[in-house]
Amino acid sequence: MNRYAVIGLGRFGAKVAQGLADHGAEVLAIDSDAQAVESMRGSVDQAMVLNATDEVAFRASGVEDVDTVVVAIGRHLEVSIVVTAQLVRMAAPHIIARAASPIQEQILRLIGAHEVVNPEVAMGESLARRLVAPELRDRRMLPTGHEFVELAARPSHLGHTLGELDLGGRYGLRLLAVRKHRPSVDSHGRNIYVDDVIADPDASLVLEDGDVLAVVGTDAQVRALTRER
């Protein structure tokens, strides 16, 4: 099981720590605010009140024993820099630091953070994508730089087979599965709808209203498909 440490339990850090714990990960949560730490007790394996800029106390916390450290301190640049620099000196295997601005992102990368995230930018981009392409149901970045996307079949696709659509040839996308929302009857005789996921579907499969395609491709390839009506 991978072990994680989350430094800074503000809104972002608390969400990360809780999400990791919900997925069964071992989590060490650290903050200098006792109230923030207390709110995480019972949710994570260990929650600790600690001034992370105190390197001696920081090392003694057990942070050196985790696989990934998330520095979730976004508003206090100096503290974020000090904590990230300490983790680099400790040779932490993977450091993910939160940035609140492009300058902070550049500094954290120069210091040695392996990955830098900006939640505000990500949220803005996500909202823009949802407004421009409301048919996108799910969108996740993969380590390869590609995206996994679930999107509703386009109106122009309905009544056509996957072979006619030719996602690979026309867009360079790889189709993983099709989810069909089909009518059914439950054990009490009531009319319901169930999701039927067809993995690696045959080219003869005909797309219908309500079908959702699960594809992998680059951002440009996905955008090319979503522009089609």
Parallel, antiparallel or unpaired: strands 3-7 and 26-31: parallel
CATH code of the domain in which 49 resides: 3.40.50.720
What local confidence, expressed as pLDDT, does residue 220 receive?
Answer: 87
What local confidence, expressed as pLDDT, does residue 184 receive?
Answer: 66
Q: Are residues 213 and 146 in the same domain?
A: yes
Q: Are residues 114 and 150 in the same domain?
A: no
Count of C-beta atoms within a 10 Å radius of residue 229: 6
What local confidence, expressed as pLDDT, does residue 77 receive?
Answer: 86
Q: Are residues 7 and 104 in the same domain?
A: yes
Q: Are residues 89 and 21 in the same domain?
A: yes
What local confidence, expressed as pLDDT, does residue 136 receive?
Answer: 66
Q: Which domain holds residue 197?
A: 128-226
Q: Are residues 10 and 109 in the same domain?
A: yes
Q: Are residues 139 and 59 in the same domain?
A: no
What local confidence, expressed as pLDDT, does residue 132 receive?
Answer: 55
Mean pLDDT per 10-residue section of the chain, whose length is 229 residues = 90 91 92 94 94 93 94 88 95 93 90 89 62 65 79 87 93 92 69 78 91 89 77
CATH code of the domain in which 218 resides: 3.30.70.1450
Among 101, 120, 139, which residue terminates a domain? 120
Q: What is the pTM of this model?
A: 0.62
Contact between 125 and 141 (Cβ < 8 Å)? no
Q: Are residues 15 and 57 in the same domain?
A: yes
Among 120, 153, 174, which residue terminates a domain? 120
What local confidence, expressed as pLDDT, does residue 23 receive?
Answer: 83
Q: Are residues 24 and 68 in the same domain?
A: yes
Alpha-carbon distances of 116 from 48, 53, 107, 112, 160, rounded to whole Å: 24, 19, 10, 10, 43
Q: Are residues 116 and 169 in the same domain?
A: no
What local confidence, expressed as pLDDT, does residue 152 receive?
Answer: 86
Domains of the chain: total? 2
The token pair at 111 is: 């210091």
What local confidence, expressed as pLDDT, does residue 127 receive?
Answer: 60
Q: Are residues 81 and 160 in the same domain?
A: no
